[in-house]
Amino acid sequence: MSERALSFFHGSVPTAVYPALRVGLAGIFLVRHADWLRPWVFLEHHRFVRGLMFLESTPAEPALLSPMISGFWLSEAATRALVYARTLLAVLLLLGVRARASAVGLALVSYALLAADRYRYYHHLHLLYVSVAFLALAPIGASWSLEHAAARLLHRVRGTRAPVAPVAISDAWPLQLIRALPLGVYFAAFTSKLDPEFLRGDVLRGLERFQVLKGGFWELVRDLVGYRGVATLAGLAEIALPLALMLRPTRRLAVVLALGFHAGISACMPVYSFGAQMAVLLVAFLPQRTFAPSRTP
Amino acid sequence: MQKPTLGEPAPRRFPSSPAWVDLAIARRATGDDQSARSFAFARWVLMPPRPVLVALLALAVLPPFVAQARGSVIGSYTMFHSLSRYHVELAVVVEGQERRVEMRSVAPHLSPEARTIVVPAGGRAVGADQVEVVAASLPDLARLLCALHPGAERARAGLSRDPFDATRVSESSAEVACRNAR
């Protein structure tokens, strides 16, 4: 592999991007896996999530066991323990307490719960879990961290100098890997739509008929360009956006366009937290890499 | 390396990395085997070797395409690319006679997530990726029927689906022999 290709991983970025991703994804995680916000705002997942997700209403015995991995099913007690562990780890991740370890633990626990019942699978949950797993590679606890704030407070009380000074720049390679996640999503969504049935607009017509696509914004776009036009535009967006995100000169414009794209999708159909997750992952494209001398010993 | 004094900690050289990375790098000068090993690992954490980085990049990008190539929904990010009507039919064979099993009798034995997808399929349900999930779970549904009907010799779960075109119906089913058959 050429040096030029491998320089993809080199360079530095502002450290703040990593805690920003951590807080954004952990916040979405906590909102998506429970119904805390029900008293204030009704979100799509509140239709079937009561309390903590996967904790409610155990099926009668004998229960359907349909794990993704043969033989990997969880008892009610194990499910309960993992759901509580998942919630605790998400709170620790949000607060930046043992942030990297919390991210690893959260990804593992979440995948265990997902794998125990194939009916729990949603694309956006898988994307959320894999994003959290990749966060563990980055210095996500470097700032905006309760742990560091407590340490600084303790040192101030004791009158000693805090051992960890906030650091302005960090390695870019974890960010490059995190950027690859939404790019993969866009490319995969594009390739899946290279289907005559979708491109003719037939799928969109069906989604509308069954009330999956609805709302004023959908009707406006449909009337403007038609079913076939929307299908073609969706496919074009899913190939153009990742390409524009990959190129430095178009990157920031692509972030703005992608945010609009996801806002539009979220206005038309139930995609749960997918739009918000992509919006947070798009934050990864905002910092520019700089190529200061390497800090690697 | 000057030993840090209490109250005047040495400034961290790699402050965004875990503290032990700094420690391992600072101990490099001692030259013993253990410090050499921890130095190598610390350097690995700061910037993993190129093959590891390339493998991580492949792990971030390639799985959706592998899933699509295998025809698997899990991890494929096929966002509403198709829509199907689907119907699940459940049956058990008792004393040589096939008997249809009503979906509502099975519903209490499904997880809430399974219930929202499987129960509507007792009639005609509409779905995108969830149809593939139902198809993958047919053997599990058949095994559940065996557990629910202790006298059954065999159990069958069948799925028929079509893209809103009665001429393009595709069917799949799973049949299992019940262990508890008399």
Interface of B with A in 67-96 (CB under 8 A): 68, 73-83
B residues 118-147 closer than 8 Å to A (CB): 118, 126, 129, 133, 136-137, 140-141, 143-144, 147
- The whole-number pLDDT of residue B28 equals 61
Kind of pairing between the strands at B97-101 and B84-94: antiparallel
Instruction: Please indicate, yes or no, if residue B131 is contained in any of the structural domains.
Output: yes
The predicted-structure confidence for A78-100, as pLDDT tens digits, reads as follows 999 999 999 999 999 999 999 99
Rounded to whole angstroms, the Cα distance separating A10 from B47 reads 9
Task: Decide if B37 is inside a domain.
Answer: no
Count CB-CB contacts under 10 A for residue A204: 25
B137 occurs within a structural domain: yes
B98: exposed, middle or buried (C-beta count within 10 Å: 0-12, 13-18, 19+)? exposed
Residue B128 and residue B81 in contact, taking contact as beta carbons nearer than 8 Å: yes
CB contact under 8 Å between B73 and A120, yes or no, is no
- The tens-digit pLDDT sequence of chain A (297 residues) is 556 666 889 889 999 999 999 999 999 999 999 999 999 999 999 988 999 999 876 788 899 999 999 889 899 899 999 999 999 999 999 999 999 999 999 999 999 999 999 999 999 999 999 999 999 999 998 888 998 888 888 888 988 876 656 677 888 999 999 999 999 999 999 999 999 989 999 999 999 998 899 999 999 999 999 999 999 999 999 999 999 999 999 999 999 999 999 999 999 999 999 999 999 999 999 998 887 554 544
Query: Is A161 within 8 Å of B7 when comparing Cβ atoms?
Result: yes
To which residue do tokens 């995609």 refer?
A: A271
Residue at B110 is within a domain: yes
| C-alpha–C-alpha distance, residues A224 and A90, integer Å | 43
Radius of gyration of chain B (CA): 29
Residues of chain B under the 70 pLDDT cut: 1-45, 180-182
A vs B: CB pairs below 8 A: 186
Statement: the pTM of the whole predicted model exceeds 0.80:
yes
- Answer whether residue B127 is part of any domain: yes
Segments forming the whole domain that contains residue B144: 84-177
Q: Can you give the pLDDT at residue B10?
A: 52
Q: Is the dihedral of CA A18, A19, A21, A26 positive or negative?
A: positive
pLDDT of residue A160: 81
Phi then psi dihedrals of residue A73, to 5 deg: -115, 160
pLDDT tens digits, one per residue of A218-267: 999 999 999 999 999 999 999 999 999 999 999 999 999 999 999 999 99
Give how far A156 is from chain B: nearest CA, Å.
11
Of B11, B53, B77, which has the smallest distance from its Cβ to A188's Cβ?
A: B77
Q: B95: distance to nearest CA of chain A, Å?
A: 22
- What's the pLDDT score for residue B166? 77
Residues of chain A in contact with residue B117, where contact means CB-CB under 8 angstroms, are: 119
- Type of residue found at B180: N
- The pLDDT value given to residue A21: 98
CB contacts of B140 in chain A (<8 Å) are: 64-66
CB contact under 8 A, A48 and B48: no
Q: Which residue of A has its CA nearest to B140?
A: A66
- Residues of B whose CB is below 8 A from A15: 16
Instruction: Please count the structural domains in chain B.
Output: 1
